[in-house]
Structure 1
Amino acid sequence: MAKKIVVTGLGTSSPLGGNVADTWKALLAGESGVSTLDHDWVAQYDLPVTFAGQAKVHPSEVLERHEVKRLDPSSQLALISAREAWADAGSPDVDPERLGVDYATGIGGIWTLLDAWDTLRERGARRVLPMTVPMLMPNAAAGIALSMHLGARAFARTVASACASSTESIVNAYEHLQAGLADIIVAGGTEAAIHPITIASFSSMQALSRRNDSPETASRPYDVARDGFVMGEGAGSIVLETEEHAKARGARIYAELAGGGVTSDAYHITAPDPEGRGATRATMLALEHAGASIDDVRHINAHATSTPVGDIAEYKAMRSVFGDRLDQIAVSATKASTGHLLGGTGALEAIFTILALHERTAPPTINLDEQDKDIPLDVVTSPRSLGTGDVLAISNSFGFGGHNAVAAFRSV
């Protein structure tokens, strides 16, 4: 018999705020976390895109000096968010061998890697820091920052599936709890890849918005004038456990993680299947695990990156799953406010989905001035009540390489 998996703790450091409360408040207020980059390297490399969704609170303002020195920025953000989530869950007293970590990143320690390369070229091999490799590893957030801090000995697993990474980690955590591999799991993802090389690369593939004169309105999901995504950085962490375990320790429960689905397009290096077939299957798997029908879904936090091709492919997938029922589902596209956190985006948006259920309020989508007629969704543009009774919501994430991950959450 399937176990009921519940959410008992939330933590984040995002472009909208340094914690969950500030981030959620800013999101509901329709604020943008996107701004012009104030770095010398923007002009040095003549970057065609000069803005991004930077973390609202710099990790150096939160962490101890030795933690900043020994962790890549991606792991710093992960540690901040995980500490908040763990405290929010009541700092559970759990056997370390029954505590696991399912964490993700899309790129990992890119700042550490490229800073070390500059040091090697300019100052020689002896000046490269001995912690360089542990800091740049994609598993550094899960294995070094989180598991060592929390003393998690059940496992510390890392997913790297591009922009689907942290949603896939959440789905993995669901499966690992169902399998009895742990009593509590900290799941989520992180990214700190606002770097000249990633901006240059994404720009070269025509993936980024170039609204340098108006960065706060650049991410425009579903708008006819959308011209690409906006890079963001941050982390999101979620404490998950079985309902039985949570109730036994008297934990506060935000929502149920009802199920999830993970599929692959096997279609193109960067483009999604134009008909959204992989995304469709991932959604159907999530609903199947949740024991739910399409009629149970009232809210979707869409991947909605603000790219001309991606938004339509996701719409086709949603229409394929829900048919006419889609017209009655409240859809939020929160990257308009945060930018796209790449490997961390699914975790942040899962938190938004969980809070939408917990507070019965779907968050708004900003910057939608003229909705694309080819994407006739019921887009939430101001905070909207999700009503009473049992509510099911899903959170979508899709990534380069054809990765699709969908998590389903239910109100409690």
Structure 2
Amino acid sequence: MPHAQAKFAIAALDSALAQRIVDTHIWAVEQGLRGAAAAELFDGYCQRLVVHGTPLWRAHSAMETLHPQWHGYGATWRRDLNAIAPESYAHGEDDEAIWVRSPFYALIERARAGEPNPSMRRRLSAGPEERDFPALKEFFAAGATDYAAWLFVYGDPLASGLGIGDRSQGSGVVFSFATDRDAGFSDDDVMLMQATLPALSLAMKAHAGHVIASGLLRTYLGWDAGGRVHAGAVTRGSMEQLRAAIWYADIRGFTELSDSAPGPTVIDLLNDAFEAMAAPLRERGGQVLKFVGDAMLATFAFEEAERAVACGRAIDAVIEATRNLEALNRVRAEAGAPLAEVDFALHVGEVMYGNVGAADRLDFTAIGPAINEVVRIEALCQPLGRSILVSPEFAEIARESGRRLEPLGLHALRGVKAPKALFALDGNAQG
């Protein structure tokens, strides 16, 4: 509807409904500017509908996202609970047969065909022909009498290639509302929702863009680095110095494997091995800084007073990682898949943490002599017949908490002037 026509239509409404529309619209915009989360926004919206007299029984919203683990998230509001239940949808968990027979799928197909922001109304109590989707039959059986749904597409549907919006901010948002009132929704109820859902959608889009950017940055840069970049640490050369326990792992014999095995086999091995190693870090506050080919670099930053705690967590993480890898390799051996044999090195020192790179291509990373040294230490695992090596700096702190380490004598590290006294850690040690 053109802007002038929209103003005329609202002016033609009775003053009470017009005021409810204006109040709800202003509320949605204010909440969007405040940065309210999508579930919080939807809960607040449903509460306002109820306050305005809409006989809401159940409501649902859902939107797509860009995330390696989740393809979307949503929320369901129920009157009997007077509460919202947030939901996350993992990739591949949808039952395709159920999904393609849902009202939301029908709305999306209409959007793909070029219909702008399609909607649906079904008066469930009017007869079986109004209950033309399995979900609507379930709602009717539970007491619902009327159903309304809307899809609001984000971005230019024609420019997206899928005809369903700009996925960098989520492709769009779908809403459904049901009532159990005998007479169903009134015309005023439907007008209130239809006139205010665009503002709610825009507020949810703002939050979706924030969530997508935050999630992708944390996924590709790491939890801490991604959070720092999203918070504004984007200037090239901006660095800070920190003390950290440094955790380095490298898959043994990977070059030969990658030269001989099919690409998917190699990727499968990397994914299995990295998850086996990252899980213990995740649980203990370790930050995975980067994956470099078949190697993984992580840190446990600490203040000096907490250095023994940080090093203890690094040791516990590497011990658990070795056990995870042993269990993984048993499964892979039974399947006839290549094994993931991994060497580890633990070190502690000062690192520079921040942005380096070209003007238009930055990397948020850790650099410094301590990083170079932990890589050189790991390279001695195979020659020394050990899978976990520890630097003297790390060993000194580890001994403070009673950790058992085996001295291996002095060893020269490539590119490091003075030999270092290395130590071995038993992968089954309990500390």
Superposition TM-score, scaled by structure 2 size: 0.24
Greater Rg over alpha carbons, structure: 2
Structure 1 or 2: larger helix share? 2
Which structure has the higher relative contact order (CA within 8 Å, separation 6+)? 1
Structure 1 or 2: larger strand share? 2
